[in-house]
Amino acid sequence: MILNNRELSWLVFNERVLQEAQDRTAPLMQRLRFLGIFSNNQDEFVKVRVAKQIRLSRGTGAGARAAAALLPQIYSRMADSRQKFDSAYDGILSEMAAIGINVVNEKQLSEEQEKFCLDYYSSVVGERIVPLLIRKRTKMPFLGDGSIYLAVKMTARASKSARYAVIQIPVSSACPRFVELPSPPGSRDIIYLDDIIRLCLKEIFFMFSCESVSAHSFRIVRDAQFEVDGDISKSLMEKAEEGIENRYRGKPVRFIYDRDMPEDLLSLIVSKLSLKDGPSLDPGGRYHLKRDLMKFPHVCPRLEEKLPAPLRHPAIEPFSSLFKVIAAQDVMLHFPYHTFNHVIDFLREAAIDPRVESIFITLYRTAEHSKVINALIGAAKNGKRVTAVIELLARFDEGRNIEYADILQRSGVRVIDGVPGLKVHGKLILAERRERGECRGYAYIGTGNFNEATARIYSDFGLLTRRREIAAETRAVFDSIISHRPLACRELLVAPYNMRSEFESLIDEEIKNAKKGKEAYIKAKFNSLTDPEMIRLLYRASRAGVKISLIVRGVCCLQPGIVGLSENIRVISVVDIYLEHARMVIFCGGGEEKVFILSADWMTRNLNRRVEVGARILEPSIRRQLREVFEIQWHDNVKARDISQFGVNEYVKSEGDESCRSQLALHEYYRRGAERRI
């Protein structure tokens, strides 16, 4: 069976992100922010996927040999992307300079700007800096992942020998990476925090009477492997806290440094970190950690992407009861086209409604100052029985989840910290309300996190329903999580129990219909498609004549368009201003179309090792809505790429057709729907 390599496929996806930065038709500042997104993605890839391959390559057997053979391909692809990134970055800076937006360094400052920087260092930066002296016979102080450092070389007037030091650049919300300078009329000058510190080096090290002092940036990328201690005497929260500390001190897998760093300084740092020459040493430019470009100052609104504000769902009036609306009809929300405030309002209403007795919710990733958490706390204080299933092991959000788990527990919320051996990734809310003497459940089943910040830029679905069968099975899912017992469902698809088998049966049904000469198709939208068994089934369906249309944002291990294997499969990827995060699957069903939304990608981890939830859409108008949403995205010919040829990200172009940028088209689709009040 032909499968694209997962790691290389991920790099190809991130190259689609880089294409957005290279797209000269996009707003200039938005292109700069896409460079930040690309850089952030690449960092996480190195911490997680490259680090894993390095660990595997150090072992024995076929797995070690495969990893050792793969790593040079990964490094080569990353090097090619680095060149494209640097070219895009330089080009964007040149375009910015042409319209008066300048990124300057410490040697390009006017007298007024230099005074400003010295004052800024004294009032904001200096108190946050603790230089670390490096001596050849002493151990290097620990240097963390995720920070930028300046390696400093000092030469004194009275001595030919040099002194060395390291300064951590103290980036924070109070001390941002980019500082806007007083500028001449018609200009906006901006400087890296790095260069403000460079400007002040002699003042920082005044006691050494330096004749010359220079600083070159570097950073360390550490293995982000998160190991959970098997000690049964410890709680999962204790294990998660220890895992975070262990990750912070993970082994270096990459050392990125200014290629102009003096050889003696570089050799000293490399030896102190016990790094070996080779791919782990990565010479770069003057500045690192370019993910900070996502937070570049908003210096010119006309150079930013302008997107319409989120809409209210047409069925939901301001200051009206969502329970009343949901009791009358199912409601499908599609973020960020619809406002996420509807979910917040649902929780807030549940928190104060005297007839609501209990609230259940799963939490995987939440906002920094979460309105969802506040609503749950309010519900508990109002005497509701609130149960929050918090996945403590959500990668890179473990610390926040531990903090919120503690806050919720102290507020009277019952906190369940997951299921042994499984991650709880499903997105569920259940509010149980006493109505006419019986308890009725109001359920929310979604594809994305309960995070109002990312809901503004992530595309996701959320179904609100009072259907008895769905509410009952939603409660069964929570009971299963709490009791650590398997469950059986008919209306919901729940991994790792029935989701895989139900999808397998649905694909088999399409294969049987195709062989009978009936219409047969599968239309699906995922973040990633990597599970070998599901891909094998899709290949079999293609050979039987099933027409398969896939929208896959990220990793796709399926190879479409191969004669005799996958000629009936086409795959596109849409990368635009919103991150496409919604998952849906549509089956022809012999003319009785079956439509699902789900929290899971078709990845082995999602189908086998996570608690995931999907719902079949029973309301005909919502099935129509989701079908139309899929078709709008399928016909994107502005931001869609045809990824049929592995490693090549060709934009989809339709001869003679009107241009369709699907994310803008979906805004218009929902705006018209609000006007029609469908």
Active site residues: 425
List the one residue out of 525, 573, 566, 561 whose CA is nearest residue 645. 561
Distance CA 467, CA 39 (A): 44
Contacts 24+ apart (CB under 8 A), 512-515: 513/588, 513/590, 514/541, 514/544, 514/545, 514/546, 515/544, 515/545
Residue 531, phi then psi, degrees to nearest 5: -70, 120
Neighbours of 606 (CB within 10 A): 26
Kindly tell me the sign of the dihedral angle through the C-alpha atoms of 49, 51, 53, 55.
Answer: negative
The conformational region for residue 186 under phi > 0 = left, psi -120 to 50 = alpha, else beta, is: left
Buried b (16+ CB within 10 A) or exposed e, 94-110: eebeeeebbbbebeebe
CB 495 within 8 A of CB 606: yes
Neighbours of 127 (CB within 10 A): 11
Distance CA 310, CA 336 (A): 6
Distance CA 572, CA 551 (A): 5
CB 556 within 8 A of CB 643: yes
Amino acid 238 reads: E
DSSP codes, 57-107: HTS-SHHHHHHHHHHHHHHHHHHHHHHHHHHHHHHHHHHHHHTTEEEE-TT
Strand partners, 423: 610
Q: Radius of gyration over alpha carbons of the chain, in Å? A: 27
Distance CA 678, CA 668 (A): 14
The conformational region for residue 288 under phi > 0 = left, psi -120 to 50 = alpha, else beta, is: beta
Q: Which helix (H) or strand (E) holds 640?
A: strand 640-642
Strand partners, 18: none
The number of C-alpha atoms within 13 Å of 650 and in the hemisphere containing its C-beta is: 10
Distance CA 645, CA 637 (A): 17
